[in-house]
Amino acid sequence: RLPVDYPATLSLAPPLAEGAAEPTLDELHAASRLTYAEYVRPDHDVSTKISGGAVAVKVLNFRRQKFKIMWDDGSSEGVYNGQLTAGLGSRTVLMTYAGHAFKFVDFESGALYRRILMQDDVHFIVFEPDADDEDARSGEKYAAVKREQRFNRQYYEHYGYPWLS
């Protein structure tokens, strides 16, 4: 049974006739048009925010490693969220919330490479090449990504919101 003040609208087909009163869930159930509904309660107090606003974060990889992306739900392993390939300049975008964290785990060894806590003001992250990887550091792809990173930072500082292309 949904609470009276439930913050959502429930629409069931077929549509109501013009001017007809919208039935309650109890009335739909009594007419055998709604056989089951369950209200899923959050397991935390929703009056206190556990995270910030939505963020889109571009992650670019210049390491010669493939990563599993794991959302950090507090468990030791985390929740699988995709992968980031090992190609120089490989990229992914995380659509998430400030306050959430993601672990980037080496695909082969399972070793944690980096854990990133998402922030409202960070929208572009580069996994830098190894210090001795001159091919990656001197390549045009890397130079272009560093320019893109600088542009994204300057755009955010000037306008107060991220460049999303």
Residue 112 lies in a domain: yes
Q: 19-28, 31-40, 92-101, 106-115: which has the minimum mean pLDDT?
A: 31-40
**Which has the minimum average pLDDT: 13-17, 104-108, 113-117, 142-146?**
13-17
Reported as a single tens digit per residue, the pLDDT across 87-117 is: 899 999 999 999 999 999 999 999 999 999 9
Asked, for residue 66, whether it belongs to a domain, the answer is: yes
**3 belongs to a structural domain:** no
pLDDT of residue 7: 61
Q: What is the DSSP string of 55-113?
A: EEEEEEE-SS--EEEEE--SSSS-EEEEEE-SSTTEEEEEEEETT-EEEEEETTT--EE
User: Residue 136's domain is classified under what CATH number?
Assistant: 2.60.40
Residue 1 lies in a domain: no
Determine the structural domain holding residue 124 and report its residue range: 54-159
Write down the pLDDT at residue 20. 84
The mean pLDDT value of the chain amounts to 85
Q: Is residue 2 part of a domain?
A: no
Q: What would the pLDDT profile of 64-79 be if each residue is shown by its tens digit?
A: 999 999 999 999 999 9
Total residue length of the chain: 165
C-beta of residue 124 within 8 angstroms of C-beta of residue 82: no
Range with the poorest average pLDDT among 4-8, 45-49, 72-76, 145-149: 45-49
- 114 falls within a domain: yes
